[in-house]
Structure 1
Amino acid sequence: MAKQRPTWAESSDLMRNYYDQLWGYPIHDDRLLFEMLTLELFQAGLSWEIIWRRRAAFEQAFDHFVVRQVASYGETDWVRLMTDAGIIRNRRKIAATINNAQVIKGMQDRGQRFADYLWAFVDHHPQRLRRAADEPMPAQTDLSRRIARQMKRDGFKFVGPTIVYSYITAVGLVNARL
C-alpha cells in the first residue's frame, strides 16, 4: 500500500523525505525549534522547497542555529549574511532571526526552554487537525493567531499567524499528518 502524503509532499524526493522524516512530528529540541522557526520565516513569500534545498547553507550561515551564537551576532555577521549567496538575503528576515535568537536566549537565561514556551500553547499535547488528503491546509487558525499575538508581545519578529500556523504544523504542535 502506498504511503499517503499531501500533494505538496509528492512534488519531489526532497519533499517526500521531509514529509516522511520530519514534518509534523513533535519537536522538543530548542535548537531544532529555532532552526525551523528561522526557515519558516525565510520561507514567507517563497516555496518551502526553495528553503529546504538551501537548508545546509542556512545551517552553515547561522552557525548551526546555536541560539547563543546567533543572539550575539553583530555588524560583521550582518555583513557576512547579507553577502551569502547560499541563503535568502533579506534584511528584515535576517534581523528577525537575530532578534528571535536574542528572545530565546533571554528565555533560556531565565531558565525557560523555548520548547516549553511553545508546547504550553497546546497544553504540551499535539492538537489534531483532521482533513482529507486533497483538502488544503488552512492558512491560519484561531490557535496560530493567538500564538502569533503572544510571540509578538514577547518580542519575536516576523511571526504572523500564517507563518506561525505553518511552523506549528511543521514542528508537530498541530498534527496535520495524513
Structure 2
Amino acid sequence: MEMKEEKRCGWCLGFEEYIQYHDKEWGVPVYDDRVHFEFLILESAQAGLSWSTILRKREGYRKAFADFDYEKVAQFSEERAEELLQDPGIVRNKLKINAAINNAKRFKEVQKEFGSFSNYIWSFVGGKPIQNAWENYKTAPATTPESDKLAKDLKKRGFKFLGSTTIYAHMQATGLVNDHQIDCLQYEIVKALGESKEY
C-alpha cells in the first residue's frame, strides 16, 4: 500500500524549523498574552525581511527580550537598548529595538483597559477565528478590513512597526484567521480548534 504524502502549505517547505513552526504553531488560536507579545516582537522585526530569517533568530530574540516577558521589556533602559544593538542573535535595527520596548509599554496599557491583550485583539474578529478556504496560500490577502482596523487602532494607541500587513501576519500566526490551504494537513485541525472553544 502506497503511503499518501502529507500536504502542507507551500510557504513552509524550506527547512525543518519552518515545517515544525507550520505544523505546531501557525494558525493555532492563541489566548496567552505572552505568546501574543512574542509574535508582535518577531513580526515587527520582520519588516523588510523574510519570516524564515526571523524564525532562525527566534532563540536569539528569546534571550535578548527576557523570554518575551513584556513586564521586563517595558523596563528596558536606553543602555539596554544600546546593548541589544550589538547582539548578533537579533536584527540589529535601532528603530525596531526601540519599537519592541515601546510596544511592551503600550501592551500593558491595553491589558489594563481590556483585562488582557487577548481580549482586546480577539474583539476585532468577534471572538472567533475567521475560517478561510484557500486552495493556494498565494491567494490569501496581505491585508484585510479587520487587519486595517486593528493596525489603525494599535497606531492610535502608540504601537510602532505594526502596520496592516504585519498585523495580518500576526492574525494568521495566532489563529485569529485560518489561512491554511484547504488541502493542508493542518487545515481541519486548526478549524476544529477554532470551533471548539466556548465563547
TM-score, normalized by the shorter chain, greater than 0.5: yes
TM (norm. structure 2) is 0.85
User: Are residues 1:48 and 2:33 paired?
Assistant: no
CA shift digits 1:80-104 (9 cap, x unpaired):
1111111001111111111110011
TM (norm. structure 1) is 0.95
How many residues were matched structurally? Answer: 178
User: Are residues 1:160 and 2:163 paired?
Assistant: yes
Give the CA deviation at 1:137: 2.6
User: Stretches of 4+ moved more than 6 A in 1?
Assistant: none
- DSSP 3-state at the match of 1:135: helix
Q: Distance in 1 between matches of 2:136 and 2:114?
A: 41
Check the 8 A contact 1:26/1:173 in 2, yes or no: yes
Q: Distance in 2 between matches of 1:127 and 1:109?
A: 26
Q: Distance in 2 between matches of 1:95 and 1:108?
A: 20
Flag structure 2 segments of 5+ consecutive residues without an equivalent: 182-199
CA shift digits 1:122-171 (9 cap, x unpaired):
11100112211353431111111111111111221111111011111011
Aligned to 1:18: 21
Give the CA deviation at 1:16: 0.8
Q: CA RMSD in A?
A: 1.3
Aligned to 1:100: 103
Give the CA deviation at 1:8: 1.1
AA paired with 1:154?
A: R
Give the CA deviation at 1:107: 2.7
Flag structure 1 segments of 5+ consecutive residues without an equivalent: none
User: Are residues 1:84 and 2:79 paired?
Assistant: no
- DSSP 3-state at the match of 2:53: helix
Q: Report sequence identity in percent.
A: 39
